[in-house]
Amino acid sequence: MEILYNLYENCKVYYRMGSSGTNLVDSRYYIIRFGPYSKASPTDPNINVDHYKKVLIICNRKDKRLCDNLKNDLEKGLPNNLIFKPFNEIFGTKLDFQVVEYDSDRYDEEKIMKVYEDEYEPRTFPLVITPKLAKSQIDSIYYRVKASFLDSGLEERATPTQIVTVDLLKQRDENKNTNYSWSLLPIAVQMFTKMGGIPYALKQSCINIGSEFNVHFIGLGLTSDPRNKLKRVGFVTIFNDNGSLSYMDSNILEDNKTESYGRIIYNAINRIVNLSNTNKSSNYNILVVHYSGKSLSKDDDQLIRNAIQIALSKKRNIEVYVAKVSKSNIFLIDTDSKTTDKQGSLTYHPRIGIVLKLKDNLYLMNMGGAITDRKINLPTGGFPSTLLISIHKELSSGESLDDDDLVKSVFIMSRVSYSNLSNPVLSEPITIKYSRSIAYLTLRLSYLNEKIELPEHIKKVMWFI
């Protein structure tokens, strides 16, 4: 089977400087050396990292010493400042860091919230210490804590949360701190992003679209409630062409699920398109839609397609391009590869970004493996992984983009990572990667309050990472 192209080689995705023209490929070096792209939200001037005054580190009393160490490292950085410098030095902030504790024989979200409320001051960001997480379980303390902060009683107090595990902190305490040290920068980047900042922005150099277009990357997906399979959450994420979040929304779908989801998509898109048209001279928009094929039944797949048609049927001056993106169980090897493991044995791992055409409108993209023929890199933490990309012509309208551009869009949005900054690409594009997290947090909120609606300021930041 013939390789169409190698996107890692032929579709360079750079991180764009906020104040200069320097282009960098390595996000870790970018953020350590040059600082963040922007401290303000691209869609709301009222959302700005500089509005925050304090980070409140909340922990169980038995973990107090570990948390004091974390506070010290966030304030002062590590001896090797190429790994992590002080938080305020990296991001140009003036945040105070404070450790507060609660006394309990277990990790308790109610006591965590009580401490937060007792210590609350406007623009306080919570960093909560919990045991090792089970993100696959909706009843995990990870989701319970995050949902509690999103439903904190008063809308202005609703806030995203950063979770750090006791297990990670213990690695530092036991001088087995390799993972701990390399985790500090991703933790800091996630905190900065949830406060509304843009740590780095992409420079799109491999999809040639004229400046007369406003380009938006959109993620869609459905997830069932594990407690009730008939109950579904639909979400929409909208990203600017530089990889920064514009807006997102999620909700439990009503009885008429197709119309309910179509309405969610329409309202989100309408909001962003109107804002984009106000801020730019052009009023012509290109929407590149990625919808998640993860665990979709045939009926759910059709529901998404119908919802897209409902959402876009009334819009004008819009070109729409739709691709279904699914993780694949196809495993690639490259018999010509010269890559080796640490012991010097050949791995036969294929290059990151290799694209194969399986048939018309269906493509396979390799998301993990080797960067070059001389050096092995396993960004997904194991063997190479692949994505199936299915182009839906029947849902698309317009002539500005072709199949190659849609395939490239998946790769481009896989370069936006807030979790592991050493990875060249994510295993999925950021548009759909957090579908389960969004769904489970939306469901946990509904368990707390059936009528809960995320405040607008939350919908404009990456609260779900």
Comparing 321 with 370, the larger pLDDT belongs to 321
> What one-character-per-residue DSSP string does 180-232 give?
HHHHHHHHHHHHHHHTT-BS-EEE--SS---TTEEEEEEEEEEEEETTEEEEE
Q: Is the pLDDT of residue 24 over 80?
A: no
More confidently predicted of 298 and 88: 88
pLDDT, tens digit, 9 for 90 and up, residues 142-174: 999 999 999 865 567 789 999 999 999 999 877
Spell out the alpha helix ranges (H) of 85-206.
87-91, 109-119, 141-150, 166-173, 178-194
pLDDT of 319 higher than 80 = yes
What is the 3-state composition of the chain as percent helix, strand, coil, each rounded to the nearest 5?
A: 35, 25, 40
Measured distance CA(2)–CA(4) in Å, rounded: 6
Name the residue among 196, 181, 66, 54 with its Cα closest to residue 125: 54
What average pLDDT does range 268-278 have in this prediction?
80
Cα(354)–Cα(257) distance, integer angstroms: 37
- pLDDT for res 353: 87
User: What percentage of the chain exceeds 70 in pLDDT?
Assistant: 87
Q: Which residues contact 159 (CB under 8 A, 6 or more apart)?
A: 124, 125, 126, 149, 150, 152, 458
In this predicted model, what pLDDT tens digit does every residue of 415-437 receive, in sequence order? 888 887 777 688 899 999 999 99
What is the greatest pairwise CA distance in the chain? Answer: 63
User: If one looks up domain 203-448 in CATH, what number appears?
Assistant: 3.30.420.10
Per-residue pLDDT of 210-238, as tens digits, reads 777 888 999 999 999 999 988 899 999 99
At residue 42, the pLDDT reads: 79
Highest average pLDDT, of 6-15, 42-51, 152-161, comes from 42-51
pLDDT at 288: 94
What pLDDT score was predicted for residue 144? 94
Question: Which amino acid is present at 128?
Answer: V
**Three-state DSSP class for 288?**
strand
- Mean pLDDT of all residues in 82-91: 94
Of residues 254 and 86, the one with the higher pLDDT is 86
**Distance from C-alpha of 383 to C-alpha of 328, rounded to nearest angstrom:** 13
Computed over every residue of the chain, the mean pLDDT equals: 86
pTM, to two decimals: 0.91
**Range with top average pLDDT, 143-152, 330-339, 381-390, 418-427:** 143-152
Q: How far apart are CA 253 and CA 222, in angstroms?
A: 10
Q: At what angle do helices 27-34 and 178-194 cross, to 10 degrees?
A: 70
Mean pLDDT of 394-404: 88
The tens digit of pLDDT for each residue in 117-146 reads: 998 888 899 999 999 877 889 999 999 999
Give the count of alpha carbons within 13 A of 37, CB side only. Answer: 25
* 16-25, 131-140, 166-175, 278-287, range with the lowest pLDDT: 16-25
What mean pLDDT is predicted for residues 317-336? 88
- Domain ranges in the chain are 49-195, 203-448
First to last CA, the chain: 37
**For residue 9, what pLDDT band results from cuts at 50, 70 and 90?**
low
pLDDT for the residue numbered 448: 86
Query: Could you tell me which residue, 454 or 247, shows the higher pLDDT?
Result: 247
Correct CATH for 49-195 of 3.90.1150.10, 3.40.50.300, 3.40.50.2300, 3.60.10.10: 3.40.50.2300
The residue ranking higher by pLDDT, 351 or 70, is 70
Beta-bridge partner residues of 101: 59
Residue 208 token pair: 């040639």
Mean pLDDT value of segment 21-30 = 63
- CA nearest 301: which of 280, 277, 281, 326? 326
pLDDT confidence of residue 218: 95
Question: What does the pLDDT average to over 243-260?
Answer: 91
| Least reliable range by pLDDT among 8-17, 52-61, 298-307, 323-332 | 8-17
Enclosing H/E stretch for 66: helix 64-76
What's the rounded mean pLDDT across residues 63-88? 95
What's the pLDDT at 376?
Answer: 47
How large is the average pLDDT for residues 71-95?
A: 95
Q: Give the pLDDT of residue 188.
A: 97
